[in-house]
Every structure is written in structure tokens, then in C-alpha cells.
Amino acid sequence: MIRLFAALALLLAVAACGTFENARDGTRMQVQGPYLLISGTITSPTPATFARHLAENPRIDTVVLGRIDGSIDAAATHRMGRRIRAMGLATELRANSVVDSGGVELFIAGTERRMAPGAVLRVHSWRNGYREGSSYPRAAAAHQMTRRYVTEMLGSDAFYWFTLQAAPSDEIHEMTAAEMRRYGLLTRP
């Protein structure tokens, strides 16, 4: 009985951490002239902070991604990406940028996508707590939200399928220049 309570307490603690982590904006945003610099982890509240910065700074024309650890909320990332696209904003990676997972989904939203030498894009499969995204059949509903978003941004879902095979969810794959060209991630270097 004690083991059952200990296991339940551990399960609740782990669940609470994920909920707590997603309850606050995990990014840092700073405006520098026409640039909105973003670093951190995209969470559920991040789109509201993003929208506020854009509303308060109408001169912003480029979203610069610094160190993006990924996203806890894919829907939040997609809302931000669609806003970037609708506003005609560019996305940019500087020499010290390292953008992982869901951050790459935000990057592909730019109407212009630029990357300085030294910047890094890294991808992997998602996991829903039960299974790796790569283990679901292609027609599974679990793929649809992100597959549609990637198609919207890049004109094809090929990049989505690539990310599922590039690395499992507990690993990461650093994209090569050839892979970025193959999937059309950059509009110019």
C-alpha cells in the first residue's frame, strides 16, 4: 500500500511539473528596433506575450530566434507561426542561434527565412506520452495538426515526415545544409 501511495505521489509530482512549466511564458522577448528577439521554451501563454510585443511595436518586421529549447504547446507555436505569416514577418537565426524542435516550426513561418553561418536547427520526433510520433500510421489523426501546419508554411508535408524519422523524441538531429535546402527551410542564407 505504501508503494502504491509513493507511486501515485511521484506520478502527481511529475504531472504537476509539466502543468506548472506550461502555466507561465517560458520565453524571454526583447525588442530592438525592427527586431523581436525570442529565446526560451514556447508555452501556452507565449502567444499572448508575442501578440502584446507586436501590438506595442508596429515597426517589428523580423522575429529573431536565439536559443529556443522547443515547445510544450504545439498549438501555441502554430498560433504564433500563423501570426508571423499573416503579418508578413521574416524569421532570422543569428550565428549563436540554436533552435530545437517546436522552435523550428516557428522559424518556418517567416515569409523570409534567413540563417547566419554558425546557427543550428535541430529536430526530432514528438512523443505523446504513450508512443513516438513515428510509430503512428501516416493516416493517423495524431499527425494531422502539425502535418497541416508544415504544409501551410512550406507547401508540402515532406519536412514533417523527415522530422519524425530524423531522431526519436529523446534525441535530437542537427540539420545539415543539404537537408535545409531539400525541405526549403531557408528563403536565403
Q: Phi and psi of 110, rounded to 5°?
A: -60, 140
Question: In Å, how far from its chain's centre is CA 170?
Answer: 16
Neighbours of 48 (CB within 10 A): 12
In this predicted structure, the answer to whether residue 162 has a pLDDT above a threshold of 90 is yes
Strand (E) or helix (H) holding 98: strand 90-100
Give 42-52 pLDDT, tens digit per residue.
Answer: 999 999 999 99
Output the pLDDT for position 20.
Answer: 63
pTM of the model: 0.88
- Fill in the amino acid letter for 23: A
Per residue in 26-36, pLDDT (tens digit) is: 899 999 999 99
Residue 116's φ and ψ, nearest 5 degrees, are: -80, 150
Q: What single string gives the DSSP state of each residue in 81-131?
A: HHHHHHTT-EEEEEEEEEEETHHHHHHTT-SSEEE-TT-EEEE---B-SSS
pLDDT attached to residue 12: 37
Residue 180 pLDDT > 60: yes
Q: Quick one: average pLDDT of 114-141?
A: 95
